[in-house]
Amino acid sequence: MKLLGVEIGAPPAQRGHLGRLLERNAALRNVFQADPRLARRLRRLQKWQSKRLLRSHADLHANPRYRRAVEFFFNELYSGGNATQRDADLMKVQTAMERLLPREGLASLCLAIELETLSQELDADLVRALPDAPITVTRYAEAYRAARREGDRRRQIELTTQVGSYLDGVVRSPMVRALIRLARAPAHAAGFGLLQEFLERGLVAFEAMHGAREFLETIRARELRFANRLFAGEPDPFEFENRAMRSLRPKASTG
């Protein structure tokens, strides 16, 4: 269906895809329900990873142009909240979402949910591989290598870039952007206001950048480099020590 020349909703061949993604994502929410010890370790891991991401990209976060986008990516991914109830609500209304949202908006949401699902799978395997001790870079890297998910880590990075590219495309299309914002009231009425809000937060973050290519390419290149170093067994995969040493070097004299 088209509205003002813009495709609304998913074509018949793609209907149901969102529902399958939501079911898989919801099933992973309580993966450690029977083991409170592992559930606590999962929460600690997610907080650690969120801080690691912010530390690795502190320069982007310090730049007013990119600050909102950094927070959107890294805080949304590990935002917490009542996700179990959100998933249940979304599964009830996924058919309406497929019908009402512009195709570009729906594609962004599907990619975001796929990213979240893969992130949950990776986190669960990491928790199983981590020792019951404070998380350090060394322990984290050893657990990642033990989990044998190198390909999935690279897929996670690529999905992050794809989500950002879709959002950037929506920002560049005033008509699609307007349609997504016009869908605010119907989305809340239909029961998928949380994902509508996710889209709108993403739009606000990407509008502030006035072009996301440099931001997305920087994130992708860094994270792929970190992944290469981690799986190669480098002792400082995230380059924290190298960065600290560079910051301690005396500045060149100007006198």
Strand partners, 7: 2
Q: What is the mean pLDDT of residues 228-238?
A: 96
Residue 62 CA to residue 72 CA, distance in Å, equals 14
Residue carrying the six token digits 């998913």: 10
DSSP calls for 16-29:
THHHHHHHHHHHTT
Assign residue 63 a region (left: φ > 0; alpha: ψ between -120 and 50; beta: otherwise): beta
Residue 224 CA to residue 154 CA, distance in Å, equals 7
56 Cα distance to chain centroid: 15
Output the pTM of the full model. 0.77
| Model confidence pLDDT, tens digit, residues 108-144 | 777 877 888 898 899 999 999 999 999 999 999 999 9
| Model confidence pLDDT, tens digit, residues 68-120 | 999 888 876 555 444 555 565 566 656 666 666 667 667 777 787 788 889 88
Residue carrying the six token digits 């990491």: 126
Q: Is 7 helix (H, G, I), strand (E, B) or coil?
A: strand
Residue 157 vs residue 90, higher pLDDT: 157
Residue 91 near residue 18, CB atoms below 8 Å: no
Residue 55 CA to residue 191 CA, distance in Å, equals 36
- In the structure encoding, which two tokens stand for residue 92, read together? 């009830």
Residue 151 near residue 228, CB atoms below 8 Å: no
